[in-house]
Amino acid sequence: MEDTISKHHYKVRSKIGIGGYSSVYLVFSERYQQSFAIKIIPIQQCKTSYDCEIQSLIGLNHPNIIKMYEHFKDDKFLYIVFDYCPNGSLMDEIDMKGKINEPRFLILFREVCTALRHCHSKNIAHHDMKPANVLLDKYGRCVLADFNLSQNGNMSQNFMGSRVFMAPEQVKMEIYDPLIADIWSLGVTLYMMAAGDVPWPLTTLDELDNAIIKGVIPFPPDLRPEIVKLISVMLNIDCSKRPTIDQILTMEVFPPQVPKYGSNRIIRRNEIPECDISGCKSPEIQKRLGMTVLSPIPSRRGIDGRRRRSNTLNVITIPKVTLSSVLTEDK
């Protein structure tokens, strides 16, 4: 195994995960001088589900979906090289902290939804949506992973997956639409993020199955009605009444989007509020403080040949340092 990995210019650092059939190792690329994760699967398990995973990932390009860099085989194993996400998974965070506070879980949930929307737009179902398959990258962003059971979004008779996250139609062994079943699994995932636990009893398999089929959900009393409503419609036992991923993303439960940090844009002078920056008029101090630096766009000549002052400013965000350190150094 390590010989094959070495031939492709990777050094094994440690084992970081293990699944039903596969293991995941942290490796270091000598060629790119950075860390990656390699999933290693016994070759006898590669004829169906992992072929689907590779084909699915090749067709997906989204910031919240795990990126596959390459794959290779030897006589015993298939190797798939992915981005390394050092902050574990949503399941790790839930296990460690219990429920996630609402502002954070809504941001994370929207990231998962945008990733799943990209999949569904290509008629690809994840087919094993759960917190353990949502990784957190080095920036703390959600990354949807483990497409080992994904498939084209046609009606399915594939009943593999994690039982707790299966939709009623899967539990009843009915032919089902995997895109709609993904919405159910996403609803269970949101419930776990908001409540810190699964919504079903886990004492016996029969009790679990009965609870899923009946769709009776005990909600924590501190959940906002809007959150309860969102989870309830996603966990509707009538699959025809579940929302699509596009409909979920238009619901008012999500906080408003804000511009990304550091992005440049053009604004009008009358958009800038008056403020007192006495003592910080030095352009050098402004830059080092991380203040928003407003630079006029160069004036242009009119048709009469005279220069006109531009009424727009270019906004540039500068990295922040502490005020005390700047003022001390400036003396």
Query: What domains sit in the chain, N to C, each tagged with a CATH number?
Result: 2-83 (3.30.200.20), 90-249 (1.10.510.10), 265-330 (no CATH)
Question: Does the annotation list 281 as a binding residue?
Answer: no
CA distance 211 to 214: 5
Least confident of 103-107, 110-114, 133-137, 303-307: 303-307
Q: What is the pLDDT of residues 33-85, one digit of tens each?
A: 999 999 998 887 765 566 666 776 777 889 999 998 998 989 889 899 999 99
For 228: left if phi > 0, alpha if psi spans -120 to 50, otherwise beta; the answer is: alpha
39 within 8 A of 23, measured Cβ to Cβ: yes
**Model confidence at 169: pLDDT above 90:** yes
What is the band of 152 on the pLDDT scale with cuts at 50, 70, 90? low
Least confident of 34-38, 104-108, 179-183, 268-272: 268-272
CA distance 35 to 13: 9
What is the band of 2 on the pLDDT scale with cuts at 50, 70, 90? confident
The 3-state secondary structure of the chain reads CHHHHHHCCEEEEEEEEECCCCEEEEEEECCCCEEEEEEEEEHHHCCCHHHHHHHHHHCCCCCCECCEEEEEECCCEEEEEEECCCCCEHHHHHHHHCCCCHHHHHHHHHHHHHHHHHHHHCCEECCCCCHHHEEECCCCCEEECCCCCCEECCCECCCCCCHHHCCHHHHCCCCECHHHHHHHHHHHHHHHHHHCCCCCCCCCHHHHHHHHHHCCCCCCCCCCHHHHHHHHHHCCCCHHHCCCHHHHHCCCCCCCCCCCCCCCEEEEHHHCCCCCCCCCCCHHHHHHHCCEEEEECCCEECCCCCEECCCEEEEEECCCCCHHHHHHHHC
Q: What's the mean pLDDT in 304-330?
A: 46
In this prediction, residue 52 carries a pLDDT of 66
Mean pLDDT value across the chain? 79
CA distance 138 to 84: 8
